[in-house]
Amino acid sequence: MTEPVWRIRLGAVAEKDFARILKYTRDTFGERQVEAYRATLLEALAALTAGPDVPGSTARDDILAGLRTLHVARQGRRGRHFVMYRAGQGHVIEVVRIVHDAMDLARHVPRDVG
């Protein structure tokens, strides 16, 4: 029996993060790099369809119960962002933020999460 595939849902703040990251990448590094980094971000999000405990993820209960992070720099890809997420009802991964890895993660959890 195979494990069910988890669905990924980006919260409103995470959607803004995604757009902001791509705009910055385009403005700073150009069109070619924005396409490469978009693929990196999407690959990290796609990995979450395997479930919240995907290899490379970290439990961040120190910040918020049930919160996990996954760094986008994985499987040979380069990047500087964490996907912050938690498991929701009905095999849904709720992505709450996508933040730069130099940021204080605890300060960037949306207030309405938890």
Q: What is the pLDDT of residues 2-26, one digit of tens each?
A: 677 999 999 999 999 999 999 999 9
Q: Which domains does the chain have, with CATH numbers?
A: 7-108 (3.30.2310.20)
Structure token pair of residue 15: 């959607």
- CA-closest candidate to residue 42, choices 74, 72, 20: 72
Q: What tens digit of pLDDT does each residue of 92-114 get?
A: 999 999 999 999 999 998 777 65
66: left (phi over 0), alpha (psi -120 to 50) or beta: left
pLDDT > 90: percent of the chain: 85
Cα distances from 22 to residues 34, 44, 57, 88, 112, in angstroms, run 6, 15, 23, 26, 25
pLDDT of residue 1: 57
